[in-house]
Structure formats: C-alpha cells, structure tokens
C-alpha cells in the first residue's frame, strides 16, 4: 500500500496559480528544486486558470466555483488523479470547491452543464498540498539528502488559516499542526513553541488597510520572538507578504519592534539540501 502511494507521487501535476509566477517566484523555484532533489517528478499543467484565490461561501452562486472545477477537469483530461499546489490559497480554494461538488450532486450537475466545452467533472481528483506530499516522502528520506544541516536554527513555523481550515480540507490538525515542524526538524532545525502559528495574519486587508494587518502580524511575530525564534517560515504567498513586507508598517505603529526574517519553508529546505 505504501509503495503504491509513493509511486503515484513520481509523476505529479502541478498547479502554480498566479502569484507563484510573480511575487512568490522564490517559492516555486525552491519547491521545484527540492522536489527534484527528492526524486519527485513534477510537471506544471500545460494550461491552467486562476482559481479565484478565495473560496466563495455563497450557496446560491455557483459561478465562482467554475474556475476551480475547470482546473480539476483539465487534470482529469490529462489522465491524472492528483493535483499538487504550493500556494495555500490555491490549495484551499481548489480543495473546498472539490469538496462542494463531491457532497452536492445537483450542484455538480449544474456546473457540468454550464461548462459544456469541457468534459464532465467526475469528482475523482484529489487536491494535494506540497507539504502533504513531502510527508509521504518521509522525514527519513529527507534526512538522507540533507547536505547543510541547519544546526539547531530556531524556527517558528507559521501556518496561517487556509492550510488548516475548514477542518474538512485541512492538511493537518487545525489547532496544533506539526507537519512543518517535523519537516524543519528533519533538516536539523529546532522548531519553537509558537501558539500564534494558526492565527490569521489579516489576509487581503493588506490591500485596503495595511495597518490592520500590521497589528495582527505584530502579535504573531512578537509571539515567535518571545519563544526565541530566529526565523519564521510559511507556505502561503499572502502570509509571506504580510509577515515580511508589513514589518515596515509595524515599525511605524510599534517603534520598538525588531525585524525578524521570514522565508518560505521550501527556501529553507533548498538551503539545507544544497540545491
């Protein structure tokens, strides 16, 4: 059974999403290098659409589900049964749309009728986040390929919201996740106690009222610092922006605030793997 699973991960279809090609390019570059070093064969979808970034919570408006379902149909047409994502927002939106049509046959039927230019979606695609796939590879195998161990670097692992909630699509325990900590530990780092790891950073308010995000992020980063973290890692391009770029806004509100480096978890991995 276990071998079967790892074989499937050998040829993965990857959905990048819009931000991975621009501000989150370092996330894509480092993740693909890490995957290669671990022998995972990853192929970007030849064609994909923006997923819409936030899952629509309206029960009466299916139009916002179309982008996600169109992407899942494309994966189905390629003959695959899994789609890999790197962005937490893409992961969440695709996974929640997938869950919606799995639970509700009538809605799926409506969507299928609307998307008449593509084959019907058969609900067989699994939406996976890169972290889940790394967990399948296993920490033992990752330890084997570590070249530059992180020698006890104290890391605060920040998950944010969309990797974990709603719990039906969460990749780990929604209150006390450990998937990033285990990964960082396998690279030789020391994950710190970090109760603010699942606290929302303020998300898209960054586009309208940055000070709201700055206040949220201040508490998150101070919590990391209190626990003597030297670095914060995350997987979401929006959390990354908020945690890193909003530090200049924090400084204006809380002049005593001391900056703390923020990196994508894949950047830290590629550094440890020497790729």
Partner 1 sequence: MRLVLKKNKHILQKIEEISGENVFACYQCGMCTAGCPMVSEMDVLPNQVIRLLQLGAMEEVINTRTVWLCASCYTCGARCPKGVNLSRLMEAIRLMILREQNQDYVKIEKIVKESLPQIALISALRKFTS
Q: Residue numbers of the site for partner 1 (CB under 8 A)? A: 17-19, 22-24, 50, 52-61, 64, 87, 89, 161, 165-167, 174-175, 198-200, 202-208, 210, 212, 215-216, 237-238, 240-241
Residue closest to 194 by CA, chosen among 218, 173, 222: 222
For the chain, give the longest Cα–Cα distance. 58
8 versus 251: smaller Cβ distance to partner 1: 251
Question: Which of 190, 100, 178, 90 has its CA nearest to residue 132?
Answer: 178
Provide the minimum distance between the beta carbon of 55 and partner 1 in the complex, in angstroms, as a whole number.
8
Alpha carbon dihedral 220, 196, 224, 255, in 10-degree steps, equals 20
Closest contact distance (angstroms) between CB of 82 and partner 1 is: 22
Nearer to partner 1, 187 or 257 (CB): 257
Q: Of the two residues 73 and 163, which places its CB atom closer to partner 1 in the complex? A: 163
Q: How far is the CB of 115 from partner 1 (least distance, A)?
A: 20
Least separation in angstroms between CB 235 and partner 1: 13
Which CB, 18 or 78, lies closer to partner 1? 18
Q: Minimal distance in Å, beta carbon 236 to partner 1?
A: 8
Nearest approach in angstroms of CB 56 to partner 1 is 8
* Closest listed residue to residue 19, CA positions, set 241, 266, 275: 241
74 or 87: CB nearest partner 1? 87
Our CB check for partner 1 shows the closer of 53 and 71 to be 53
Q: Give CA–CA dist 231/240, Å, rounded.
A: 12
Residue with smaller CB distance to partner 1, 80 or 244: 244
Q: Give least dist CB 64 to partner 1, A.
A: 8
**Do residues 143 and 182 make contact, with C-beta atoms less than 8 angstroms apart?**
no
């Amino acid at each position: 059974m276990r071998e079967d699973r790892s074989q499937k991960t050998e040829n993965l279809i990857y959905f990048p999403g819009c931000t991975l090609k621009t501000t989150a390019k370092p996330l894509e570059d480092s993740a693909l290098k890490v995957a290669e070093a671990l022998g995972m064969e990853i192929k970007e979808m030849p064609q994909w659409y923006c997923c819409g970034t936030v899952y629509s919570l309206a029960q009466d408006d299916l139009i916002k589900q179309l982008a996600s379902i169109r992407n899942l149909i494309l994966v189905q047409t390629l003959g695959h049964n899994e789609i890999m994502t790197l962005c937490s927002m893409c992961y969440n939106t695709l996974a929640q749309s997938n869950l919606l049509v799995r639970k509700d046959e009538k809605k799926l039927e409506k969507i299928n009728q609307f998307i008449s230019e593509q084959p019907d979606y058969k609900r067989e695609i699994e939406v996976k986040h890169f972290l889940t796939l790394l967990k399948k590879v296993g920490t033992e195998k990752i330890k084997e390929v570590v070249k530059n161990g992180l020698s006890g670097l104290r890391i605060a692992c920040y998950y944010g919201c969309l990797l974990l909630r709603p719990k039906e699509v969460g990749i780990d325990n929604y209150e006390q996740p450990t998937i990033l900590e285990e990964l960082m530990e396998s690279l030789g780092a020391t994950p710190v106690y970090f109760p603010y790891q699942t606290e929302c950073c303020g998300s898209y308010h960054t586009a309208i009222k940055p000070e709201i995000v700055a206040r949220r992020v201040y508490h998150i980063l101070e919590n990391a610092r209190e626990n003597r973290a030297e670095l914060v890692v995350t997987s979401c391009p929006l959390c990354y922006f908020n945690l890193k770029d909003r530090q200049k806004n924090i400084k204006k509100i809380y002049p005593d605030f001391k900056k703390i480096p923020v990196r994508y978890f894949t950047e830290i991995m590629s550094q440890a793997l020497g790729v």
